[in-house]
Amino acid sequence: MSPHLRPLRLGAPVLAVALLLAGCAGAAQSSRESGGSSADRKDTVIIGTGAVPQSLEPAIASEVQTDFTVSSMYDKLVTYDADGKIVGRLATSWKTGDGGRSLTLTLRDGVTFHSGNPFTAADVVYTLERDKKLGLGVASFISDLKSVKADDDTHVTITLTGPNASFVGALSKVYVVDSKLVKEHASDDQGQKWLATHDAGSGPYALTSYTANQRTETDRYKGYWQFESSRPEHVVYRYIQESSTLRDELTSGGVDVATGLSGTDLDAAEKISDVQADDLPSLIELFVMFNMEGTLTSDPRVREAIQLAYDYQGHVSSILSGRGSVATGLAAPSVACRYDAGASTQDVAKAKQLVEEAGASGKSLTLAYQTTIPEHAKAATLLQSDLKEIGLNLKLKPVTYPEYSQMIQSKATTPDLGLLWDFPYYPAIGPMLYRVYDSAFVNQTNYSRYSNAEVDSLLAKGLSATDEKSACNDFVAAQKQIVDDRVAMPISNPENTILLRDGLGITYDPTSQLFDVGTLVRK
């Protein structure tokens, strides 16, 4: 992702269309009952989650909700292991050339898609060109792509617009599609309408049924190149956004795995006799993003006052029930090359003073937030209460993530504050910093409309560096400046606790924000 490129649009309007299409496809009937005890459905594992996909389109798998459901249906060229090392998947090896401007991949032979079509270099070419042409979520990861060609069925050469040491890692977020199958359904939309409700993957599970906003059903793919008989034969996703309902379903046996339980519901679920808790490392961090061009938030005194007003310890102890920590930087502690700015603390007296100095007492701000995520909803209410104490009125505006993405496309509609989770989509901080803080992404993924030429320059140097140490130094320097400019208000690093029925196990995958369903096995 070299900054000399013109960034690709992330297509929030297209996401909204995909959501509509998915809703229209929601009439499919379920083939498996959700209730009953686990013994009644030995071969089926039911996952309860609040991560409702907007669509099954793999090109928008940059969204946690979509990625969680589709990740087991597709495979990718490379991934990261638990130690943060890049390892091969559909690519068995790779090498760089031309000073970091080209990448040659050797592909795994003998892989087949769920359709029965063989996996070849043509599918890699089609996938990368399709993702770039669509300009949706994952396109931002491969914005340095200049061209891609198939040398033969098992070799691909990628040419970049400039040196980019992190490009191989970016391929860990690109799901390879069955080009022959997608072309059969492509019409004039690159197959988006069809892929919103179907799968064209080669992953360990194949889609059998999809009811938008309710459930997805998959069957273990017998032809998977890394077939494991210990994987459940059937996996069902039930979309349950209410934490207490999800807790009750886990208690009654309606679901076998649960993600997204919060507070007392999580405490209660851990006491279920045949359920175990698995605490996985997480890259997720909760932020408030300041509109740097806002009427009030353009004033650094107001931004500092808001940061000082918030009860961070109360957030961790009450909202997270102690399952997490106060954030200390722009990325989670496990991310390499992060700058540790220290944990923020509350100072109401100083916050009041800054508001008065800025002449902002009694004035109003608007916060956009997602009500469907418990931590977000509770944090919004807490922030509203805390700001009232320092003389600021906070208006809460519920939004979906696609709606928020649309709002930040224009200065006129960007809210004063945006409350959201953000994180590196894979274990590399440079691409995340570029996506969120480089001025080239204003009106796209630069939530704060932030522009700083020094930061842009540091990110450009770091992303084009071929030496890891010098790149790291540039990224740390950029983070220091961003922190000094008070662009974002880091709040918390929540733990990622997965509840599983006894006899089930999962493996940590650092490219998955919840967990990789493809690693789910019976022990």
Q: Three-state SS across 376-398?
A: HHHHHHHHHHHHHHCCCEEEEEE
The third-level CATH classification (topology) of the domain covering 285-494 is Dipeptide-binding Protein; domain 3 (3.10.105)
pTM score: 0.80
The string over 315-349, giving b where at least 16 C-beta atoms fall within 10 Å of a residue's C-beta and e elsewhere, is bbeebbeebbbbbbbbbbeebebbbebeebeeeee
d(Cα 369, Cα 267) in Å, to the nearest integer? 25
d(Cα 351, Cα 353) in Å, to the nearest integer? 5
- Going from N- to C-terminal start, the domains of the chain cover 285-494
DSSP one-letter string for 411-470: TTT--SEEEEEE--SSS-HHHHHHHHH-GGGTTTT-TT----HHHHHHHHHHHH-SSHHH
DSSP state of 34: S
In terms of Cβ atoms closer than 10 Å to its own Cβ (0-12, 13-18, 19+), residue 200 is buried
Tens-digit pLDDT profile for the chain (523 aa)?
Answer: 333 333 433 333 333 333 333 333 343 334 454 444 444 478 999 999 999 998 999 999 988 889 999 999 999 999 999 888 899 999 999 999 998 899 999 999 999 999 999 999 999 999 999 999 998 889 988 989 999 999 999 999 999 999 888 899 999 999 999 999 999 999 889 999 999 999 999 999 999 999 999 999 999 999 999 999 999 999 999 999 899 999 999 999 999 999 988 878 999 999 999 999 998 888 899 999 999 999 999 999 999 999 999 999 999 999 998 989 999 999 998 888 999 999 999 999 999 999 999 999 999 999 999 998 889 999 999 999 999 999 999 999 999 888 998 999 999 999 999 999 998 988 889 999 999 999 999 998 999 999 999 999 999 999 988 888 999 999 999 999 999 999 999 999 998 999 999 999 999 998 998 999 999 999 9
